[in-house]
Amino acid sequence: MERIYNGMPAADLGAEGWHKPWSGGNGGNCVEAMKLADGRVAVRQSADPDGPALIYSHGEIAAFIQGAKSGQADFLLN
């Protein structure tokens, strides 16, 4: 596999291993995530699986999830 970098085509990461932990009743437009072998997490838009993948470190994704759980991302819903 090529070097994994932020903004790379998500298709270059393969089709297996993507999960939709945040799917909702929004017509199939979901965020998908994949845990990479080195512990980082790739995130893509399911409606554009060939589009860019955002690559986050374990610490970055953990901080986001913990912040979302504590309400720090609620401003995104207003």
User: Cβ of 70: how many Cβ atoms within 10 Å?
Assistant: 9
In sequence order, which residues have a C-beta less than 8 Å from that of residue 60 and are 6 or more positions away? Answer: none
In a domain, 4, yes or no: no
In a domain, 70, yes or no: yes
pLDDT at 71: 96
In a domain, 5, yes or no: no
In a domain, 38, yes or no: yes
Domains contained in the chain, number:
1
Quick: pLDDT tens for 14-70.
999 999 876 666 566 688 999 999 999 999 998 899 999 999 999 999 999 999 999
pLDDT at 30: 84
pLDDT at 47: 87
CB 46 within 8 A of CB 34: no
In a domain, 2, yes or no: no
pLDDT at 1: 52
In a domain, 23, yes or no: yes
In a domain, 28, yes or no: yes
Q: Which domain holds residue 38?
A: 10-77
> What is the Cα–Cα distance from 63 to 2, expressed in whole angstroms?
27
